[in-house]
Structure 1
Amino acid sequence: MKKAATCAIVIVALMVTVGCGSTKVYNTDKTVIYKSTMYNVSNVTQYSSKLEAKTTEGEAVDLTNYDKTRFNAFVGEQGTVMVQSLILMDEKTIVYQSATPKKYSEFDKMGKNLASAMDQIAKFMKDKKKTQLNLK
C-alpha cells in the first residue's frame, strides 16, 4: 500500500512538473514612448534614421553624411536652416529633435544624439523581456 501511495505521489509530481521548463516564450507588444506619444513597434521590420533640412525653396535635403565642410557650405548657401533628426520605422516617422544649428558642433551633437537613440532602440528590440522603451 505504501509503495502504491508513493508511486502515485511520484506520478502526480511528474505530471505537475512536465509543463515546467526553462524555455520561455515572450509574446507581448513592444512600445516606444517619446514625448508623451506611444508607438507600437512590435511589427516594425526596418529601422533607419536621417538628418534632414529644408532649403529656402522648401526642398528636403538629407544631411546624414555631411561633414564639417559640406555642412558649413550648405548653411552658408542657405542661411539659417531648420534641421530635424528623424527616426524612420517602416511607414512611421518620429521627429526626434528639431533645431537650427549655427555651428557644425551643434549639428554634430544632433547626429550623436540620434545615433544614441538608434542604439537604444536596437538593444531594446533584441531584449525579449522588455516591452517598453522611454526615449529621452
Structure 2
Amino acid sequence: MKTVILVWVLRLTAAIILLQTLYFKFSGAAESVYIFSILGIEPYGRIGLGVIELITAILILVPRTTWLGAFIGCGIMIGAILSHVFVLGITVQNDGGLLFGLASITFLCCLVLVFFNKSKFLNLRKMQY
C-alpha cells in the first residue's frame, strides 16, 4: 500500500511540474523565450518541447503508460539539467536556481518511476514480432 501511494506521489509531482511549465512555454513568456534563445532553438524548440512535455505528463499519469512517460521524462530532464550546467547556469535571470531545482526533482521522480517499472522494460525484450 505504501508503494502505491509513493508511486502516485511521484507521478503527480513529475506531471504537475511538467504541466505547470507549459503555460510559460506556450504563452511565450519572457523567461522561456530567453532560455530557448540562449540555447538557439527559439521558437520551435520551446513549442516542440512543450508538446513533448504535455504528452509525457499524460503518459506518466496513466498507470499503464507510466513507464514510457517516466523514461521520456528522464531524457527531457537530463537535457534540461545539462543545459543548465553547461550553457545557462544554475541561476537563470535571478530565479535562485528554481528551474534547475524543478528539473532535478522531476528527473528524480521519473528515475524512481522507471525503477519501479523496470519489469515493463524487461518485457519489451521478450516481445516477438
TM-score, shorter chain, exceeding 0.5: no
Question: More relative contact order in 1 or in 2 (CA 8 Å, sep 6+)?
Answer: 2
TM-score (norm 2): 0.30
Q: Which has the larger radius of gyration?
A: 1
Name the structure where strand makes up a greater proportion of residues.
1
